[in-house]
Amino acid sequence: MLVEIRNVSKTYETDGTRIPVLENINFTVEDNDFICIVGPSGCGKSTLLRIIIGLEKPASGEVLFKGKVIAPDNPKVAMVFQNFALFPWLTVRENIELVLESKVLHEKEREGMACKYIKAVGLDGFERVYPRELSGGMKQRVGFARALAVEPVLLCMDEPFSSLDALTAQNLKDELLMLWADKNMPPDAVIMVTHNVEEAVYMANRIIVLSPRPGKIVADLRVELERPRNRKDPEFYRWVDKVYSLIV
Amino acid sequence: MQLTMKKGHFILAIILFLISVISAFYFFDYIDFPELVSLPYYAASSLLRMSAAYLFALCFALSYGYVAATNTRARKVMLPVLDILQSVPILGFFPAAVLFFIGIIPGRPGVEVAAVFLIFTSMAWNMAFGVYESLTTIPKELIEAADSFVVRGWQRLESLTLPACVPKLVYNSIVSWSAGWFFLVASEIISAGSGTYKLPGLGSFLIDTTYSGKIALMLIGLSVLIIIILLLELFIWRPMQSWADKYNYEYAGEKRPGEFILKTKAIKQVFRFIFDVFSNITVSLYILFHGHKIIKSALKFSGLLILFLGLAYIMYDFVISIVKLLLNLPTDAYSIPLAIVYSFLRLSAAYIICTLWTVPAAVYIVKNKKASSYLMPLMEVAASIPAIALFPAMVVIFIKYGSLDIAAVILILLGMQWYLLFNLIAGVRSIPKDIDNAATSFGVKGKLYWKKVLLPAMFPSFITGSITAWGGGWNTLIVAEYITYKGQEYHLFGIGYLLDKATFESPNSSMVLLSVLSMSLTIVFLNKLIWQPAYRKALVKYKFD
């Protein structure tokens, strides 16, 4: 058992009115899980992810990582952001080296690791380029490289493909699945928030469906489809329909 | 070296040079060479004063802005204080500051410190706001990325905090620097209490030559000042601005129209180097203070203690002087309300003229690419000449041919108009292309286009511009209502005159205090009553997002 989410609830307060966002969320993440969290917009998916990695505190309940309460600076957890969150004044390589600074003390070693992951996401040749000179897809590759470079046990992603074009997204998805399946490479487990049901069925081995606000777990499904999955497969469509019917 | 330079600049530089040479020869018999020979020395001293003040302002801005942005409890006090400091006419507090510094450090060093302090006060607040704004508008995701990837301590300072401040800090530095010129001229001749203190510099040269009627020398001094401003613009501010673009979150990559930039690798490397040195110093200070718990807590304690004692002392002093004042009100005090009304009318007149010409001018400049390539550089140069430096020349003309009232309004106009113009230009430029295209394709043009597209789009920047313009106006007022020329004193009745009179003519510290206080109160009152509500409304209704 890698992560345990216990009775997590969250409310926001605006102008004195309390808006419940999440209610009583319970589930566990095992090694080798690839979990997709889906649900209608505004159901608190992103908030849940931020709570899981410790960027936000739950109103009640707790998140345990390997038995301990999660902290945002946990080096075993990494995050890929929806809008990339790259430092505009640092080059691709510097962006990655920055997050290694507290883990890898030797400068040469940092450089080597940064280059390794730049290569892994297919960005070799762009080490010295600034993020603004890259296309959206390439920026998100840097986002992936940065998250993978810290060699996390758990990788969290907040709609990482939503600002990319379909083709780039597909390539990145396949590369990510390969990395996840590779036992020698991080990460062991992945949690991804998405509003794209097809994407969830394509990638996940578990899909958690949240209800409209306040978000509650409606279903926790184990997707038993052979990999690599085929979108044209009728069985694939049955799964997509099933998840859709749970959301609506 | 890649030198892209617009014709307008060349022409202007040549014209200026010719004017100065011709006037120099024309008035040749006036000129005494010793004065002229020491002009480079004057220029260097003035520049040094400016640089020293700027350096202090930079350090102040970074630390003040940082604390205000990160410490929510301190922010509640620090922001209003900054707001007041920014809107209060600093020039009025100056005599008190001079006496204070001369009291601590006797002789010329004391006067120098006082001058640097005055220039500092014209630079620092706006830069501190810049730092505060930069730090509070860092995109949330970027902060989360730094949090989740354990970027903290000195490393966070170096890779997130400092770079995030660069664009606004550079932009505000340019504004501050030109405000600094204005105060430099005022600070080099200081009268306080019974004595007048003079510092060698371009400002005192300008004032001296005017008052003694050496017009040729004054013109040469003015040309030197303008040339220095142009050179700084060309070799420092423009390149620095283009270097700072790297630190923007969104960077269109296109050159702003009507701009010329000197691009050299060397200059970029120099900025990079300065930034590195600066961030290294900051980082090592940070490590020193945060690394050791004892130092940290000692620092915190002594900082609080100094702050507390300082505040207590100021409060005590303030209360005592107010009590004294109320017990023994000077006779002039009763004329203060009327004086404020007079000054306000002068400011309003200047402001109306200012609005009338800047609104159409801003639209014209943005809409006509060709005109803007000539006009923009011309305007920028004109704007960088401190209005106060032109005043002596104007007074000479108006004393001979007109009334001082017109001269004062024109001077105030000069102190106001550029703020409004440049803000309006930015406002027109910020209209999204889509909206403009939509207007064109649906046949919205002429009067309707002005009413429904242009004017609403300009409104937020009109308000911001007006706030700064009025700030500039109040400061100009202090020099606009009182002048001595060839040993004779000319004045206009107004709050600026009362203040100057109490400072220079018949020194009366309680009158100084009263005038400054009532002026500050008026300004704060106007801000709260008019500008702030207008700004809030502008943000809600007319902002493109």
Q: Taking CB atoms and an 8 Å limit, are B149 and A82 in contact across chains?
A: no
Per-residue pLDDT of A185-207, as tens digits, reads: 888 899 999 989 999 999 999 99
Give phi and psi for A29, each to the nearest 5.
-115, 125
Inspect the interface and report whether the beta carbons of A85 and B139 lie closer than 8 Å. yes
pLDDT band at B3 (very low <50, low <70, confident <90, very high): very low
CB contact (8 A) between residue B150 and residue A102: yes
pLDDT band at B322 (very low <50, low <70, confident <90, very high): confident
Interface contact B148, partner A, CB < 8 A: yes
Give the residue carrying structure tokens 């379909």.
Answer: A166
What's the mean pLDDT in B251-256? 46
A114 band by pLDDT with thresholds 50, 70 and 90: very high
- Range from A155-169, B94-108, B214-228 that averages highest in pLDDT: A155-169
Residues in chain A closer than 8 A to B279 (CB atoms) = none
Residues of chain B neighbouring A80 (CB-CB closer than 8 A): none
Helix pair angle (B215-232, B202-211), 10° resolution? 160
Q: What average pLDDT does the structure give for chain A?
A: 90
B122 or B385: whose pLDDT is higher?
B122
pLDDT at B543: 65
Sheet holding A3-14, edge to edge: A17-29, A3-14, A60-65, A68-69
Does the structure show a pLDDT above 90 at B515?
A: no
Residue B480, judged by CB atoms within 10 A of its CB (0-12, 13-18, 19+), counts as buried
pLDDT at position A9 is 94
Handedness of CA B58, B59, B61, B62 (dihedral sign): positive
pLDDT digits (tens, 9 = 90+) for B394-435: 777 777 776 778 888 888 898 888 889 988 988 888 777 777
What amino acid is encoded at B192 in this protein?
Answer: A
Residue B526: both structure tokens together: 């106007």
Comparing alpha-carbon positions, the chain A residue that sits nearest to B152 is: A102
Residue A210 has phi, psi (to 5 degrees) of -100, 150
Does residue B256 surpass a pLDDT of 70?
A: no
Measure the CA–CA gap between B151 and A86, rounded to whole angstroms: 13
B89 phi, psi to nearest 5 deg:
-75, 100
pLDDT above 70: residue B289: no
Q: Is A85 within 8 Å of B147 when comparing Cβ atoms? A: no
Q: Smallest Cβ distance to A72: which of B141, B148, B253?
A: B148
Q: Which residue has the tokens 């400002």?
A: B203
d(Cα A65, Cα B521) in Å, to the nearest integer? 58
Give the B window 194-253 contacts with A, CB below 8 Å: 246-251, 253
pLDDT band, residue A239 (cuts 50/70/90)? very high
The partner residues of A220 in beta bridges, in order of sequence, read A208
Please, which residues 163-192 of chain B have a Cβ atom closer than 8 Å to chain A? Answer: 163, 166
What residues of chain B lie within 8 A of the CB of A101, using their CB? Answer: 151, 155
What average pLDDT does range B359-372 have in this prediction? 85
User: What span, in angstroms and rounded, lies between the C-alpha atoms of B7 and B370?
Assistant: 12
- Residue A103: pLDDT band (50, 70, 90) is confident
Q: Express each pLDDT in B229-247 by its tens digit.
A: 888 887 888 788 788 877 8
Domains and CATH numbers, chain B: 8-30+46-247+264-291+329-541 (1.10.3720.10)
In 3D space, the residue among B90, B107, B106, B103 whose CA is nearest the CA of residue B187 turns out to be B90
Chain A residues touching residue B268 (CB < 8 angstroms) = none
Residues for chain A: how many in total?
248
**Is A69 within 8 Å of A87 (Cβ atoms)?**
no
Judge whether residue B111 has pLDDT over 80: yes
Pairwise CB contact (< 8 Å): A102 & B151: yes
Closest C-alpha to B404, from B339, B480, B467? B480
Mean pLDDT of chain B: 79
**Does the beta-carbon distance from B155 to A130 stay under 8 Å?**
no
Question: Tens digits of per-residue pLDDT, B154-211?
Answer: 788 888 888 889 888 888 888 888 888 888 887 887 655 556 677 889 888 887 877 7
Query: What is the pLDDT confidence band of residue B23, given thresholds at 50, 70 and 90?
Result: low
Q: Are the beta carbons of B142 and A130 separated by less than 8 Å?
A: no
Give the number of beta-carbon pairs within 8 Å between A and B: 68
Mean pLDDT: which of A22-26, B114-118, B275-279 is highest? A22-26
